[in-house]
Amino acid sequence: MTCDFLPLAAPGVRTLQPYQPGKPESELRREYGLSHIVKLASNENPLGPSPKALAAVREALPDIARYPDGNGFELKAALSARLGVPMAALTLGNGSNDVLESVARAFLTSEHEAVFSEHAFAVYPIVTQAIGATARVAKANPPDHEMPYGHDLAAIRASISDRTRVTFVANPNNPTGTWLKTAELEGFLASVPESVIVVVDEAYFEYVEAEMDCPSALRWIDRFPNLVVTRTFSKAYGLAGLRVGYAVSHPQVADLLNRVREPFNVNSLALAAAAAALDDFEHLERSRAVNRDGMKCLLEFCRRQNLAWLPSAGNFLCIDVGRPGREVFLELLKRGVIARPVDNYGLPRFLRISIGTEAENARLIDALAGVLKS
């Protein structure tokens, strides 16, 4: 019996290309028989999770036969106290990707449009297409801009029409690392019609240095009722494997997001770990310091090699390797180093490299220097 289920799929799903994650270490071991592998592909915290988070997970383990708190009361209470927002403004997600999808499900239909920039996070077009909405992609900044390939907020604003219901803005942006400054982001938020939900994705905000003038949109959450700010515990907090993130919004928007949120979408171990991680300031500061030092080391290497790079406020650097990035990626794999080609983001000559530990960065630099020399 021959079956073709493609015609049965929803229109937006038929041509949808799924998200491509970074190559896992186990796959590289199988392919090349390597034992010492450095993964710098997925912007994970090289220090791992907070010891307090690990202790909280161990304490929560005996109760995993029970469903988690479906409302995430303790984590919401911790976030409310830390961020200075009411609990009613919070929506928890299975990673911030889950919250982004909830926004699409709550506000987009086949009659509506979502607007986002070129070279922006791959989940924005995925959730838009899956729901059957139309994606309008705004041109990014030109290569000679202060923030090359970053968001052009004027182009995004010009792309908003009467059919637009959502616009996604990443600050800092992945994969470029570029960011938006206070005046331009505030002006953009003020210019967008209230009928358009503006999602400011702040997945990497904990890595932002004060002198960068990269603001958190949380400062405007009371001023703009159509603003949704999303964050994650997967990056600086080192909990990528547990999948937990959140959104802050007007309580009525949060209510709508919670209506489409899957029941028990954040597991009990993730809830416990995230709440504990929020209290470990020392671990977060160590993580920021490791990132700061590693970024400096990688930038120095780029200067020695005469390589161009994009300015980054995250825990990764997007480097122009002067040839097809995927070719360099494949050569690095043979040397046991996993980076991230970004040709699927429209940046074919670039590699996105996560900042690792001192030893991991040294391994990457040695391998990349060898590949470029060859």
Q: What is the pLDDT of residue 29?
A: 79
Domain ranges within the chain, ordered by starting residue: 9-39+282-373, 51-278
Closest CA to 272 of 71, 68, 80: 68
Cβ-proximal residues to 220 (8 Å cutoff; 6+ apart), any chain: 186, 189, 227
Q: What is the pLDDT of residue 27?
A: 81
- What does the DSSP assignment read for 196-233? SEEEEE-TTGGG--GGG----GGGGTTT-TTEEEEEES
Q: What is the pLDDT of residue 1?
A: 59
Q: What is the pLDDT of residue 228?
A: 98
Q: What is the pLDDT of residue 197?
A: 98
Predicted TM-score of the model (pTM): 0.94
The tens-digit pLDDT sequence of the chain (374 residues) is 578 878 888 888 888 787 777 777 888 778 777 778 899 999 999 999 999 999 999 999 999 999 999 999 999 999 999 999 999 999 999 999 999 999 999 999 999 999 999 999 999 999 999 999 999 999 999 999 999 999 999 999 999 999 999 999 999 999 999 999 999 999 999 999 999 999 999 999 999 998 999 999 999 999 999 999 999 999 999 999 999 999 999 999 999 999 999 999 999 999 999 999 999 999 999 999 999 999 999 999 999 999 999 999 999 999 999 999 999 999 999 999 999 999 999 999 999 999 999 999 999 999 999 999 98
- DSSP element (H, E) containing 327: helix 325-334
Distance, CA of 323 to CA of 315 (rounded, Å): 23
> Can you name the CATH fold of 9-39+282-373?
Aspartate Aminotransferase, domain 1 (3.90.1150)
Distance, CA of 158 to CA of 164 (rounded, Å): 11
Closest CA to 41 of 355, 365, 372, 331: 355
Q: Which CATH architecture group holds 51-278? A: 3-Layer(aba) Sandwich (3.40)
